[in-house]
A and B are shown apart, each in its own frame.
Chain A
Amino acid sequence: MSNFGMILENHKTKYTKMDIILNNVMPIPLASIQHGDDSIWGNFIELKASKHILLNASSGKGKSTFTMAVIGLRKDYDGIISFDGKNIKNYSSMDWTRIRQNKISVIYQDLQLFPNLSVAENLILKNSLTDVFSENEMLQMLEELEIDNKWQQKCGLLSMGQQQRVAIVRAMLQPFEWLIMDEPFSHLDIENAKKSMDMIDARCKDLNAGFVLTTLGDSHGYKYDQELKL
C-alpha cells in the first residue's frame, strides 16, 4: 500500500452523495455554436453520484465554462443546473461556501494557486477549512508526486508542472462528492500524470466520490464510466 493509500485508510468517511443534472443548459456565449445530440449543452444530462466521467472536447467548446457553471462562478447560461433537484442559481453565498468546502473540489485549468505563498502555505490555507489532513500527511502526498522538496518554496517560483501537482494535492485536501478537473494534466509528463491520477483515483474511491475529467481528446488511459461531449 502506498503512503497515500495508508493516509486514506485513516480518513474513511461516508457522505450522502448528490447527482448533478444539466437540463437544457446553454451558456449564452456558446449559443451560436452548433452542438450535437450527445453534447452536454442543450440536452438533458444526468451526472450520477460516484460516476467517473470524461468530458471530451476541443478548445473553445466550453469545458471551463462547464467547470465554472457547476461550481457557481458563472451564471450566464439558460436552462437549469441542479444538485439533487435544487436549481443552483438559487443557492446563497453560504450554500456555495458549504458546497465548495465539502461537496465539490476543483482543479482549475489556471490552477488558482497563490504565487506569493509557499507550497506549504497554499496547502495549509485550503486544509485549514476542513482540517482533513495533518501537515505530515500533506508532505507525504507531495512526496507521492515527487515535489516534497518544494514544501517551503514559493509557488510562483515552481515550474508549471510542479504547480499543477500542487493544485492536484490541494484539491485532495477536503471532503468531496465530486471532483471537477479542468485539464489537470496539461503540463505533466505521462509518468507524473499517471501518479497524479492514481492519487485522485484512490481519494475518489475512498470518498466514494465521482469525478469529471475534462480533456482535449486524450483519455490518458484512465478508466471512466461515461464519456460526454461538448
Chain B
Amino acid sequence: MLNKLLFKNQDKKQLIIAIIGAFMGITFLITSIHYIIKVNDFGKGVDVFGPNTIIVQKKVTNASSLNLTKTDFSNKELQKIKNESFIVDVQPVISNNFDVSFETSDSLVPYFRTDVFIQTVDQKFLGVQTDQWHWKEGDDFVPMIMPREFLVMLNTFMCASGIPQISDELAKEVKFKFKIWNGKGMERVNARIVGFTNEVSSLLVPASFMKFGNDKYSDGTEQKITQIIIAGKESEFGLVEDLLNKKGLETKNAQMIVGRLKSVVGTLFIVVLGISIIAVLASGLVLIQYMQLLMSRNSYEVRTLLRLGYNPTDIIKSFFYYFIKIFGIVASLGLLVFFVFKYFLDEMFASGGLYIDTEMTYFSIISLLISYTIFALASFNTAKRGIFKQF
C-alpha cells in the first residue's frame, strides 16, 4: 500500500532515462576494468624482467672508438640518473672479467660448446623465484637465464645436426657446464637454465657466481660498468626515452618499443578508467536526482504519512529499498551484458592473435560491489534527508 502510494504516480520516462544511464555506466565500468587488468597482464611472465625495465649502454661513436670518449659509467652518472623522478631504480650490470665458455653436458643432447659473455643484474629486477636464484661453491649447479635468441641458435644447430629441437621447458632440464679459466687455472661448473629473456644478449648468472669467477680467475684488467639496468615508472616511459636520448644512451630497439607501447597503453587505460568512473558516478547521480524528484513530487504524501503516525524510518526504507532494487537490477543487467561483450571481445582479440586470459577478474566484481555500496549509501542519505525535511 505504501509503495503504491509513493511510487505509482511517477514520470516513468525520467526513470527509464536514469536506468539506461546507470546501466551504460555500470557496463562500461566492468568492461573497462576487466580489460585494463587483462591487457595489462598480457605478456607478463614471458620475460624475467619486470615492466618498464631496460638495459642500456652508451652509444658507440667514432670518438669512443678512438678512445676520445668513454663508454663506461661512473658512480656519479649512475646517481644522477637515479635522482630523476621517473626512475624507480638504477643498478650496474656486472660482466665477467675472466674467460668463460658454455657447453652441453647431457647424454640427451649432442656436445656443443661456445665462448660466452656472462652478466649479472640485481635480483630485484628479475622475476625468477629467489630460492632458484642463488649459488655458492659446492652447489650442484649455477642457475642461469638464457637469451632466447641463444636457444634459437642452439635449436638451429640441433636441426642442422638432425637432432630434434628442444622447447623452453625441455631446455630447463638439460645439463650444461661453464668452463671458467685464466692463464693460471681452469675449472668446470654445472649449470642449468631457470628462465629466458628477450632483453639481454648475454647469459645472466647470480652475483655470487660472478664474484667467485672475478675473484678467482680475473684477468687483472679493471672492472668497468659498460651497461646499466634501469626501471622506470609505469606510464612515464616517454621521460625515460627522453633521458636516454639526452645522455646518448641506447638500448635494444624491441625493448624501447615494448616500453613505449606499455606506457601509451597504460596512460590510455587510466583515461578509460577515469571516464568509466565518471560515467558510473554521473549515472548514479542521475538516479539519486530522480529519487529527490520523486520525493519532492510525493512531498504531500510523505508529509501526510508522517502526520498520520508513520515512522519516518519506514518511509526512508521504502525509498531506499525501491532504489537499491532498481540499481541491483541495473547492476545485474550490466554484468550480464558485460559477459556478452566479453564473449565477443575475447573472440575478437583471439582472432587478432592476442590470446589474453579469459578468466573473470575479481576487480571488475569488486568495482561493481563498490559502486553498489556507494549508491546504496548515497540513496539512504538522500532518502533520510528528504524524509526528515518533511517531518
Interface residues of A (CB under 8 A from B): 71, 73, 93-94, 96-97, 99-102, 106, 108, 112-114, 116-117, 121, 124-126, 128-129, 174
Return the contact of A97 from the options B9, B301, B304, B312 (Cβ within 8 A). Answer: B312
- When the two chains form their complex, are residues A116 and B1 in contact, meaning their CB atoms are under 8 A apart? no
Which residues from 4 to 60 on chain B have a C-beta closer than 8 Å to any C-beta of chain A? Answer: 4-5, 8-9
Is B307 among interface residues, defined by CB-CB distance under 8 A?
Answer: yes
Q: How far is the CA of A116 from the CA of B8 in the complex (A)?
A: 10
A-B contacts, 7 listed (Cβ < 8 Å):
A106-B307, A113-B304, A114-B5, A114-B301, A116-B5, A117-B5, A121-B4
- When the two chains form their complex, are residues A100 and B312 in contact, meaning their CB atoms are under 8 A apart? no
User: Which residue, of A106, A124, A125, has the highest number of chain B Cβ atoms within 10 A?
Assistant: A125
- When the two chains form their complex, are residues B9 and A116 in contact, meaning their CB atoms are under 8 A apart? yes
Q: Name the 5 nearest CB pairs between A and B, nearest first.
A: A100-B309, A101-B309, A97-B311, A112-B304, A129-B309
B384 to nearest A CB, angstroms?
11
- When the two chains form their complex, are residues A128 and B1 in contact, meaning their CB atoms are under 8 A apart? yes
Q: How far is the CA of A73 from the CA of B303 in the complex (A)?
A: 10
Interface residues of B (CB under 8 A from A): 1-2, 4-5, 8-9, 301, 304-312, 388, 391
A-B contact count (CB 8 A): 48
Return the contact of A114 from the options B304, B306, B312, B391 (Cβ within 8 A). Answer: B304
**A93-B312, A97-B312, A114-B301 are known contacts. Are A125 and B5 too (CB-CB below 8 A)?**
yes
In the complex, which residues of chain B have a beta carbon less than 8 angstroms from the beta carbon of A106?
307
User: Which residue, of A113, A114, A128, has the highest number of chain B Cβ atoms within 10 A?
Assistant: A114
Q: How far is the CA of A100 from the CA of B309 in the complex (A)?
A: 5
- Complex: chain B residue closest to A129, CB-CB: B309
- Complex: chain B residue closest to A105, CB-CB: B309
- When the two chains form their complex, are residues A93 and B391 in contact, meaning their CB atoms are under 8 A apart? yes
In the complex, which residues of chain A have a beta carbon less than 8 angstroms from the beta carbon of B310?
97, 129
- When the two chains form their complex, are residues B308 and A100 in contact, meaning their CB atoms are under 8 A apart? yes
Q: How far is the CA of A73 from the CA of B306 in the complex (A)?
A: 10
- When the two chains form their complex, are residues A71 and B5 in contact, meaning their CB atoms are under 8 A apart? no
- Complex: chain B residue closest to A173, CB-CB: B308
**A93-B391, A97-B312, A114-B301 are known contacts. Are A73 and B1 too (CB-CB below 8 A)?**
no
